[in-house]
Each structure stands twice: as C-alpha cells, then as structure tokens.
Amino acid sequence: MKRLAMFVAVGLLALSALASAQTLVYGESGLPVTLDLPQDGNSLTVLYQVAQPLVGFKPGSSELMPLLATSWEANADATQWTFHLREGVSFTDGTPFNAEAVKFNFDRWNNRDNPYAFASQKDMAAWTYIFGAFHGEDGYLLEKVDVLDANTVRFDLTSPVGFFPALVASSYFGIHSPTAIKAAGVDYGTPGVGAVGTGPFKFQEWVEGDHVTLVRNDNYWGDKAKVERIVFRGIESPATRLAELEAGTLDIAVNLSPDDLKAVEGNADLKRATASANLSIGYVGFHQANKPFDDVRVRQAVALAIDQKTIVDSFWSGLGQPAAEFIPPGLIGRAGYEPYAYDPAKAKELLKEAGYPNGFKTEFWYMPVSRPYFPSPKDIAEAVTGYLAQVGIQAELRTEDWGIYLKDYDEGKFPMYMLGWSADYADPNNFIFTFFSPTEIKNGFGWTGSNADEVVKLLGDARQASSETERVTYYHQADKLIYDNVPAMPMVYPTTLNATRANIDGFLPNPLGTTSVQLNEVTKN
Amino acid sequence: MFSYFIRRLLGLLPVLFGVSLLVFTIPRVIGSDPARIMLGERASPESYQRLRLELGLDVPYFLNFKEARTNGVAGLFDAQYPNFLRHALQGDLGKSIFSRIPVVTSLTHFFPATFELTMVAMFIAVVLGVPLGILAALNRGTVIDTTLMFVALAGVSFPVFWLGIIMIYVFAVGLGWLPPSGRLSPTLIFHGTTGFYVLDAILQGRWDVLWNAIRHLILPGIALGTIPLAIIVRMTRSSMLEVLGQDYIRTARAKGVEARSVINKHALRNALLPVVTVIGLSFGQLLSGAILTETVFAWPGIGRFVYDAISARDYPIIQGGVLFVATMFVIVNMVVDLSYAVIDPRIQYT
C-alpha cells in the first residue's frame, strides 16, 4: 500500500512537471488592451495566436506565405485581387471559415456605418494607415469585397496596388468568427469574452491586470502547437522582465532594453532572439514653417553637426544602425545613401552661408514616451543638443504630455523634434508614403515648393506602378530629393532585443517585430 | 459618538463632490484627449474630429444649452459632467474608452491587489516601526539611536524602483528564494472569488496557492513598507521622547513603578496618538496605489491602473478611479479620527 502511495505520488509529481513544461510563459510590456481590433503590440501579439490573417510570413522573415488564403492573384492593373481560401477550416466555436466570414470581417472594418463597427473602432487608425480611409471617404482604397464562391473572395480597389497581399497580411487583420462577434456585440474582445479565430491557440481566460491564457487548438488546420498553453504576462518594467527571465519564471521576454544586450549574451541560460533587421526608424524632423529651418543649408548643417554614429552606438548598444534614408533595410526601393558624415567645420560654414555665423536659438522637442525607435528619448535629445551647441545652435530641450505632443506635432508647432515609425506591413510604401503623403509632408515637415510637389508626385506614381522595377525607379528619384533637401534627419534603424530561456526553440521574431509571429512551432525542452 | 459618525459620513458628500468636479475638469483643461492618443503617431484632422464626435467628447462639459432649447431642463443637463455624476450615483462609472471594460469591473480586480499589498506593507511598517522607535527613544543619543535614525533616513531616501530591482536580483534571481514579480505564479491555475488571493486560497483550502501568494507579497511588501516604516520609527521616537519628559512619567518613576510598566502603560499609550495619525495617513496613501512599486513588481494594483489611464486620457477610468481612491482615503482618515477616542479617553466625540 505504502509502495502504491509512493508510486502515485511520484506519478503525480512527474505529471505536474510535464504540465508546467507544456506551459509557455511570455512576458510583454503590458497585457492586451482589447482583442478586437487592437492597435498596440501587446494586444496584437496575443491576438495573432488566436485570429489569423489571410496571408502570413515565413518564419523569421517578412516574406509572405499562405495562411488562411492558399493563393491569390490580381487582374492586369492590380485593381482586383482574388484570394482562394483554405478549405475545411473552422473557427474554434465551430463556425465554418469561408468567403462569407472574410467579407463580414472586412466590411465591418471598412464601413463606418456597419452595425458591427463599434464606437472606438469606427476610426481605427490602423485601417486608415493601411487602407487610406474608410469606405466612401477621401482617399479610400477598398471599394468592396465580393463572395465569388464559398472559398473565393475578390477585393475591388479604387486604385491599383501591386502589394495588396502585404496589406492583408498586417497583424491587425486576423479573421474573427462572425458568430462570436454577433453574439457578444460591443463586449467582443474584452476580458470576459476574448476572441474567436482559427489560430493554433484559442482563448481561455484573461484575468485583468494579471495574465491572459491561451490553450492549444487541437483542431488547428496546420502544425499543431508544441506547447499546451501560453500564459501572457504584462510586466511594464524592462528590468523586471529581464529579471523574470533570468530567474526562469518567464520563458520569453520581448522588448528588453538595448542596454541589457550584454546581460543576455553573458548568461548561458538565456538566448538572444532578435530579428535580422527591424522595420523601424527614428528621426529628427524639422518643421519649415519655423525659421531658420526653411533654409536647406541650415537643415544640412544640423545633419552634419550631429555625430550620428556615436549616438547610435551609445544608445542602442550595437542594436541599431545609423539611418540615411526613410526606407529601412530589408525593403525594396532603397537608394543606398550613406548618412551625412560628422563634419562640424562644414556645418559652421553652411550656417555662415545661410546668414547665421554665430548660430541661432531654437527649440528641440523630445518624446515623453519611450519607443523602440527611441528607447531613452531624453538622453538622446541631450546628446543631440550637445553636438548642436558646438556649432553655435542653442537648442532648448522641451517636452510635454504625449497626447499634446502628437497634437502639437500635427499643427507644426515644433521647429525641431523627435519621432519615428514602426512598420504596419512590409512594404516601402508604409514608410516613405507615411512621411511624405500629401498631408504628412505639410503637417510633419511644412515642406512646400517644387521639390516637395515632385516627391508627392513620384510617390503617387510609385503606388500605381505596373512593375516592381518601375516602382523602385520612382522611389530612387524621390529618395534623392529627400536626401538632398533634408526635411528630416533619419537617425537610426533599431533592432529590438528579445530573449528566451536556453531551452526554448523555434521563437523567431521577424522584421515586423514580435506581433506577427505564430508561436505554434515554439518548443520548450 | 454615533451622531458624530453620522455627521462625518455626511461631511463626506461635499468632499467627494469636490473631488469629482476636480477629477472631471483637470484632465480636460490640460489639453489633448483620448481621441488624439488613440490615433497614434499619424492622424488626419478629419478623423480626429470624427473620433471626438464618436466618443462623445464634443458634448458640452457642464450645461448643454443647445439641447436645452429642444428638451428643456433635461436637455440642459445632458452634458458630460451631469451624466457622469448621475451614473456614478447609480454605481456605474462608465466604460474604458480603449478597452470597453466597465470601470467598476476593473476596480474590483485592481483594488484587492492593492489592498493585500498595503496590508502587508503596513504590517511590516507597524510591527517593526513602533518597537524600533521606542528603542531609539530609550537609547537617545547612543549608537543604537544614531544607527536607527540613519537607517530610517535611508529608508525614506532610497528610490523604491532602485530598492525593488536590487531586492529582485538578490532574493529572486540570485538566491532564488522568492518570485521576482506578479501576484501568483502564472503556471498555477486558480480562480478566486473575492480577488483577495490570500483570502480566496484559505476559503478554498488551496494551501499551495496561499503559500504562493504569500511568497509573492514579501518583496513588494518590504519595498512598499520602507517609507512608512521609516516615518513611523521617527515619529514614535520623537513622540516618546516628548512624553518621557512629562511630569507624570517622572512621578510614576518616583513612585517606583516598574520601568517596563512606565514605558508600556504610561508613556507609550500617550505617545501613540501622533503615531496613529501617521499610520493612518500612510495607510491611506498606500491604498491609493504605489505606482513605482507596482511597476517594478508588475503588481496589478490601482495606482498603475489609474496612472496608465491618465497617460492615455481614458476619462472614465481617471474619473472613476480617482473618485474611488479618494473615497478610500477619506474613510481611512475618518477611522483614524474615531480611533483617537479609543486610545485617548480625554477625546470625546459628541
């Protein structure tokens, strides 16, 4: 009897060890905000495991691959895109995944008056970033979605877009179960309801402020998840995330501070998990409505006065590279420029030519929040003003609440400022057009005149180009104008530091970060 | 006593009304709003205006004259503040703009976490603080006193995030004795009913959960307890010193009352009044959440919840959260006032 009890006890111990080995604990900077049309990385990472988009990414890369759509093709001028859907797939609530479901989701996002477009999503910024505007509004892209048959949908666009599948692949656009959305109404995506999709994991529970648990979807159409459960924890402080990883209470920790690279690499229990490159950029912008930044020589002088390489090396600890153009590495269309070389003497000369032999006074606005493209904005801003002082430019450091900062930025109140961008989809259009669209070129930089008009025209032509070669030619021409006119000084292409315990395999962040990485291939040994 | 209690309770109403007015007004007058933050780094002026409309941010703050013309008095009060007040009186604090979670639901998640942590921190602060303060007073001017006062000074001066991270590295990463952060191990499957994990664990007889929850409380409890601990030590010391110099203590000693009895019965009881005030104030402060401690230890408390809402301009959370915290603070102060009568019979409330 005693022996039996011992046997049972040992068995139970082994079982509990097994159970915990199958739970993956994932540390992010916060828990999701919502699982219905979120706009932040923490929510998107969780949602990507549950609701999959039509198009995905090859592991560790930004190259597209079939996910819920098995193939796609465009008509001759790329205004109609037809997607063939994976057959025999069901949402985890049993609802069949088909063309109707795809149409339901896109209609709900594209049409502000759709009954299932809930208040805060009616102006979903991500939709306008990616699809221009909502249906019927100025600059909208998606005309309609048609169900051709049970497993075929067609997207009709208002203008040709050769890279449309990249838009659809964005992690925002996971397909949800229409039944679940209709049943939950405005509560869909909140902790009590969660989300229902076709992904390798399904929603189990969300304890507000504490954790979100997903469990393996045993009916998943693809490679079933190797771990049984994932628990997502929101740990705001990057130092605590690293400590948790070191203590072994987290298996994966994302968005660590670049300063911690040494700590990660020097620890045999940990593994660095960074992407080959991240599609992200941090820059110093000038608004030309503020004198003397209307003078191109002054803008060039600023770019020459700042030792960009030293700043990038010191604040990104080897996890960033100095930037020269607005299309980050890893995308097509880059012209291959070098950053303006550090040359204070030449900067002074240009200032003298522009009529400022003794420099001038201005304001330099830095962000009150930290982003991967500027992990410690204030320290970086101080370094920048230090360099500027050496050529006589007295830049007063200013900041304000983030919401007000964004609003003042919109209104062109900052002579000189810091801002950045991380990709929504893997295409140069998401960068260069984001900064130099007709509205942004005015709002962000106050850049007008023939050069600015030319850039806008070239980028418009690029969007409609019939071939990639043609598109790249337009980008190169636009890039030259931007490089010479310095409407802003690109500062850095950062790489985000993520790490796992040494026993974790198969966690491969891609250039879009960790928000569009499926965790079904991750193993815990 | 009872009528005093009722009067104090009624006195709460104007205070809370004032708080509600402030907490409604301040976030709105300092500029920016949730609509702009929701739209992120790039936004067109049109979508900004439209989202404001969608979120009801264009409705007048206090009085809606436009509506009054068509709907009379009811229309006049169809404005943001009167609506907030009306719903709040019915126990509805609205929903978060970003997550659509009802504020009351969130408060029932975050408040128990803060309350548990506060209890532990205050327990540490009082159990250690009062005896150490007495010890310092009795050994005034000696090495013991100087050392204690120095440590107390250090306690108030150490930044919590620094102390917290050091403790995490020593006790969690280095020695592995305690978990680094959070309220429960994420691999533990447990569903509480009250949100107070210690209580829930006892109610359900889940001793593994109880042990786990207590282990998670220790480091943040110490980190959070250091400041009140330091204040209590100093307050007890100075208050004791003052009392020990009184005539009646000399008399008691002269009568030959045993030293221990002089200290415990004659001195301490009289010295406690200011200490209780300090304890009450600290308790109230900790209950309103400790943003730094909660951030370092990833503690899902009310401080960070409200702080995050302030950054995001999530008006319903700011309003509901601050109103709730203010209520707690006022109640704790009231309890402190009432306890005076228990400690010092000379104080009578009528």
What are the residues facing B272 on neighbouring strands?
Answer: none
pLDDT band at B126 (very low <50, low <70, confident <90, very high): very high
Chain A residues with CB inside 8 Å of B220's CB? none
Cα dihedral: A445, A446, A448, A452 (round 10):
10
Look up the pTM and report it: 0.87
Which tokens belong to A222?
């693809």
B279 contact partners, CB below 8 Å, separation of at least 6: B122, B125, B126, B228, B232, B336
Is the bond preceding A292 in cis, omega lying within 30 degrees of 0?
yes
CATH for B103-343 is 1.10.3720.10
How does strand A416-422 pair with strand A280-286?
Answer: antiparallel
Closest to B50 (Cβ–Cβ): which among A23, A123, A235?
A123
Rounded CA gap, A129 and A171, in Å? 13
Strand, coil or helix: what is B196?
Answer: coil
Question: Quick check: B51 pLDDT over 80?
Answer: no
Which range among A102-106, A136-140, A286-290 shows the weakest confidence by mean pLDDT?
A136-140
Q: What's the pLDDT at B88?
A: 86
CA–CA separation, A308 vs A285, rounded Å?
A: 14
Q: Closest residue of B to A139, CA-based?
A: B44
* Rounded (to 5) percent helix, strand, coil in chain A: 35, 20, 40
The predicted-structure confidence for A291-300, as pLDDT tens digits, reads as follows 899 999 999 9
Count of CB atoms situated within 10 Å of the CB of A121: 25
Residues 94-113 (B) with a CB less than 8 A from some CB of A: 97-101, 105-106, 109-110, 113
User: Which pLDDT value is given to residue B66?
Assistant: 83
Residue B256, class by beta-carbon neighbours within 10 Å (0-12 exposed, 13-18 middle, 19+ buried)? exposed
By C-alpha distance, which of A91, A496, A459 is closest to A275? Answer: A496
Distances (CA, A) of A65 to A60, A72, A405: 12, 11, 38
pLDDT of residue A11: 47
What does DSSP say about strands A416-422 and A361-365: parallel, antiparallel, or unpaired? Answer: parallel
**Chain B residues touching residue A119 (CB < 8 angstroms):** 54-55
* Residue B45 pLDDT > 80: no
Is the bond preceding A38 in cis, omega lying within 30 degrees of 0?
no
Mean of the pLDDT values across residues A8-34?
68
**∠A247-A251-A254 over CA atoms, to 5°?**
100
Say whether pLDDT at A9 is over 70.
no
Q: Which of A198, A243, A239 is nearest to A91 (CA)?
A: A198
The strand pair at A229-234 and A211-216 is best described as antiparallel
List the helix and strand counts (H, then E) for chain A: 17, 21
Name the strand (E) or helix (H) holding A205. Answer: strand A201-207
Tokens coding A282: 């941090």
CB A212 within 8 A of CB A31: yes
3-state secondary structure of A272: strand
CA distance A173 to A257: 29
For B38, which of A125, A190, A440 is closest by C-beta distance? A125
Indicate if the pLDDT at residue A457 is higher than 60.
yes
- Residues pairing with A256 in the sheet: A497
Tokens representing A131 are: 């699809």
> Is the Cβ pair A236, B40 closer than 8 Å?
no
- Residue A513 tokens, joined: 């970060």
For chains A and B, CB pairs below 8 A equal: 157
The two structure tokens encoding residue A200: 């390798």
Cβ–Cβ under 8 Å, residues A201 and A218: no
Q: Which of A98, A48, A62 is nearest to A200 (CA)?
A: A48
Pairing mode, if any, of strands A23-28 and A229-234? parallel
Cβ atoms A422, A509 nearer than 8 A: no
Task: Give me the mean pLDDT over the B170-198 stretch.
Answer: 89
pLDDT at A311 over 80: yes
User: A119 pLDDT band (50/70/90 cuts)?
Assistant: low
Q: How far A403 CA lies from chain B's nearest CA (Å)? A: 5
Query: Average pLDDT, whole number, for chain B?
Result: 86
Residues A416, A302: contact at Cβ < 8 Å?
Answer: yes
User: Residue A327 and residue A331: Cα distance in Å, rounded?
Assistant: 7
**Which of these, B37, B30, B107, B81, lies nearest to B320 by C-alpha position?**
B107
A301/A354 Cα distance (integer angstroms): 10
- Rounded CA separation B225/B122 (Å): 6
Please report which confidence band the pLDDT of residue B168 belongs to, taking 50, 70 and 90 as the band edges: very high
Q: What is the mean pLDDT of residues A225-236?
A: 94
pLDDT of residue A21 exceeding 60, the answer is no
Q: How far is CA A169 from the centre of its chain?
A: 12
pLDDT, mean of residues A189-207: 94
Contacts of A26 in chain B (CB under 8 A): none
- ipTM of this complex: 0.83
Q: Strand, helix or coil at B83?
A: helix
Ordered by start, the domain boundaries in chain B are 38-90, 103-343
CA distances from B254 to B134, B242, B266 (A): 21, 18, 13
Query: Minimal Cα–Cα distance from A184 to chain B, Å?
Result: 13
Please indicate whether, in this complex, the C-beta atoms of A33 and B176 are within 8 angstroms of each other.
no
Residues comprising chain B, all counted: 350
Q: Per the CB < 8 Å rule, is B187 touching A231? A: yes
Provide the shortest C-alpha distance from residue A464 to chain B (in Å). Answer: 23
Separation of alpha carbons A433 and A286, rounded Å:
17
The answer to whether A186 and B101 have CB atoms below 8 angstroms apart is no
DSSP three-state, residue B249: helix
Rounded to 5 degrees, φ, ψ at A90 are: -125, 150
Q: Among A505, A502, A29, which Cα is nearest to A233's?
A: A29
- Residue range A325-331: mean pLDDT, rounded: 91
The shortest CB-CB distance from B32 to any of A138, A404, A419 is to A404
Which residues in A lie closer than 8 A to residue B34 (C-beta atoms)? 403
Contacts of A410 in chain B (CB under 8 A): 43, 45, 48
Tokens of B182: 């959070």
- Distance in angstroms (rounded) separating the CA atoms of residues B101 and B305: 13
At B316, list the tokens: 């319903």
CB contact under 8 Å between A190 and B100, yes or no, is: yes
pLDDT value for A5? 52
The phi, psi pair for A204, rounded to 5°, reads -115, -60
Residue B210 parent element (H or E): helix B207-244
3-state SS track over A353-400:
HCCCCCCCEEEEECCCCCECCECCHHHHHHHHHHHHHHCCCEEEEECC
Q: What is the 3-state secondary structure (H, E, C) of A141-200?
A: CEEEEEEEECCEEEEEECCCCCCHHHHHCCHHHCCCCHHHHHHHHHHCCCCCCCCCCCCC
Of A187, A401, A410, the CB nearest to B43: A410
Give mean pLDDT, residues B168-191.
Answer: 90
Q: What does the CA dihedral A114, A120, A126, A128 come to, rounded to 10 degrees?
A: 60
Q: Structure tokens of A174? A: 């996971």
pLDDT at A19 over 70: no
- pLDDT on residue A122: 59
pLDDT in tens, B64-114: 888 888 888 888 888 888 888 888 888 888 888 888 889 999 998 899 999
pLDDT at A17: 44
pLDDT above 50: residue A13: no
- Select the residue of A33, A119, A247 nearest B173 (Cβ to Cβ): A247
B289 vs A contacts (CB less than 8 Å): none
Question: A148 vs A136, which has greater pLDDT?
Answer: A148
Q: Is the pLDDT of residue A191 over 70?
A: yes
Cα(first)–Cα(last) distance of chain A, in Å?
34
Q: Mean pLDDT lowest for which of A145-149, A458-462, B264-268?
A: B264-268
Q: How far is CA A213 from CA A22, A57, B178, in A?
A: 13, 24, 23
Q: Check the CA dihedral A471-A472-A475-A480 and report its sign.
A: negative
Residue in A with minimal Cα distance to B32: A404
- Nearest chain A Cα distance for residue B326, angstroms: 21
Average pLDDT of every residue of chain A:
90
CA distance A477 to A461: 11
Residues paired with residue A64 on neighbouring β-strands, in sequence order: A57
Name residue A416's beta-bridge partners.
A286, A364
Q: Is the pLDDT at A123 greater than 90, yes or no? A: no
Q: What is the pLDDT of residue A16?
A: 46
CB contact under 8 A, B161 and A402: no
| Cα distance between residue A252 and residue A238, in whole Å | 12
The one-letter amino acid code at A266 reads G
pLDDT > 60? residue A6:
no
